[in-house]
Chains A and B, each alone.
Chain A
Amino acid sequence: MSLFVEDPAYLSKSRLKSDLVAHNVALPPTKSKKEVYVDLHLKHIAHNNAAEFSSDEEDQEEDVADKEEDAEIPDPSCLTDDDLKAALLEHGVKAGPIVASTRALYENKLRRLLQSEGHGCLNGVEKGVLYSDSEEENGEKEDEESGSERAKEETVEQSDQAQQRSSQFPSGSQPVMSSGGSLISSQAFSITQMVKEVESRRSLTTSTDSERELNGSNVQEHWSRSTRLDKPIVDKYTINNQSLYYTPKESPCIRDMKLSQEPVEDMLQEMFPNTEATPTGICATRRRPIKGAAGRPFQYAYPDTPASPTTLERREVERRLVPFQIQILVFVIVACLLYLIYVCVEDYSFSPFVALLDSLDQGSDSEEGPLLQAETQDTPALSGQE
C-alpha cells in the first residue's frame, strides 16, 4: 500500500489501524487517540517509502527504534499499572508490585528507558554506567550500531577504543621513523638523559633500538626537552614528533617502559653491577601491606606492647604474689603469735611477759627439744586448761 500523498489525518482511525497492521507496525494501546495513529502512520509509512530508494541501514534501524518507542507511548503516567508493568517487562525490567509508593519510580524508569532508546548509544552508555541493570538496553542496541562500540558493555567499548588507538598508533609512528631515528633515540627517555649527563653521550649507542624507542614519548618529550643538550636537535625532534603528539599516552607509555628497558639496562648494569636482571628491568619490592589498616584483617594479632613471653609470664605471676615486704611482716607477726601461744600454753600463766623474758634466755636452747614434746603436750595441756 504505497499511497503517496494521502494525508493520514484524513483517514479514519480504523483505516489508520489497518494501514499500520499492513506495515507490520505494532499498534498502540486501544485507548490512545487518533493523533497517535496518525503519527505512527506518518512515520512508518513515510519511512518505508524513503527506504525503497535508499539502502541505509540506519533508517531501518531507526524504524525499529521509533516503532518501539511509539509503541510504548512516551508518557508513562498515562498508563495503567498493568500497562506500566508490561512496558517495563518489554524492556527487560522485572518490576515489582506497582503500588502508590513505587509507581513514580517505575514511571521514571520507563521514561529513562524510552529516552535512552531515542537518543542512541551514547546516552545509553552513560546511563548504563550509572545504573546496575543496563542489560535491557543492550539487546536493542545491538541491531542499531555497527558493533564496534556498542555491542557489549562499556568495558568492551573501552577495549575496542583502545584497540583502535593502538592500531592508529603504529601508523603514526612510521612516518617519524623514517626521519632522523638516531637523533630521536638519544633523547627519548629521561633515564637515558640522566645517564647522558653522567657519561656524556653514551646513549648514542642505543641507536639500534631507535625503532622501538620511537613509540615513546609524548610524556617523555617534555622531560627530554628540558634536559636536552643540543638545541638544533631539539627543533628537529619537536617537528618530527608532532605527529605523535596527539596520540593517546596510554599505550605508548606502557610500551615505552617495557621496550626502553633494554638499552637502559646496559647503562644501569654498568652503574649497578650487582642487580639481577629482571624482564622489565624494574626492581621493586612489594611493600608489606599494612596489617589492620583499611579494614584488612589481621593474620595474627600483635599485642600492643612488644613484651616477650617470659616477661609477660613473670608479670602475671608477680601480680598474683603478695609483695615481698608484706610477706616478711606477716611472717614476723605469725612467728611472734606462735611464740606467744607457746609461751602461754607452757607456763599456764596469763602474764607471759615475765615468762617471755625468762624463756628468751632459755628458749633458744630448749626450743627445739620441747617443741616436739610441746606438740604432744599441747593437746593434753589445752584440754587440761579448759
Chain B
Amino acid sequence: MSSTSQKHKHFVAEPMGEKCVTTLPGIGAAHGKRLEEKGFGKAYDVLGQFLVLKRDEKLCRDWLKDICGANVKQQGKAYACLKEWCDASL
C-alpha cells in the first residue's frame, strides 16, 4: 500500500500544532468524539500516547482499538501517519 491519502500528506507535511485529533487519517468525526471524551482531543495527545507506547505498532493499534473502536484499516492509517510524522519531525 504505497498510496497515502490527502489527509496523511497534509498531516505529515507540517508541525501538528493545535490540530484537532480528527485531522489524523483514520480518525473521523465519530472516533474523534470518543477520543475527545477520553481526553485525547488534540492530535498531540494521541502523539503523546503513541510515544509513551514506544511507538510500538501492536500496542498503538490495540490502544486505538480500545479507546475509540477503530478497525484494522483505520488503526493502520493513523499509526502510519504518526510514524511518518515522527520520522520527519521528531
Contacts and interface: CB of A to CB of B under 8 A. Distances in A.
A219 to B, nearest CB: 32
A94 interface: yes
B56 A133 contact: yes
B89 interface: no
Interface in A100-117: 101-102, 104-105, 108-109
A311 to B, nearest CB: 34
Contact of A105 (B2, B3, B57, B59): B59
Contacts, number: 35
A131 interface: yes
Contacts of B49: 101-102
Interface string B1-30: 111000000000000000000000000000
Contacts of B59: 96, 102, 105, 109
A167 B58 CA distance: 38
Given A97-B52, A105-B63, A105-B66, A131 B3 contact: no
A15 B57 CA distance: 46
Interface residues on B, range: 10 to 19
A295 B52 CA distance: 33
Interface string B56-82: 111100110010000000000000000
A364 interface: no
Interface in B41-62: 49, 52-54, 56-59, 62
A310 interface: no
> Interface residues of A toward B: which range?
10 to 19
B52 A102 contact: yes
Interface in A234-289: none
Interface string A89-100: 000001011010
B57 A295 contact: no
A102 B53 contact: yes
Contact of A131 (B52, B53, B58, B66): B58
Contact of B52 (A94, A101, A109, A132): A101
A99 B49 CA distance: 10
Given A104-B66, A105-B63, A295-B3, A132 B53 contact: no
A105 B57 CA distance: 13
Contacts of A104: 66
Contacts of B62: 105, 108-109
A96 B54 contact: yes
A309 to B, nearest CB: 32
Nearest to B72: A130
Contacts of A102: 49, 52-53, 59, 63
A96 B49 CA distance: 11
Nearest to A95: B54
B64 to A, nearest CB: 11
B58 A133 contact: yes
A94 B54 contact: yes
A109 B56 CA distance: 13
Contacts of A133: 56, 58
10 contacts: A96-B53, A101-B52, A101-B63, A102-B49, A102-B52, A102-B53, A102-B59, A131-B58, A133-B58, A294-B3
Interface of A: 94, 96-97, 99, 101-102, 104-105, 108-109, 131-133, 294-295
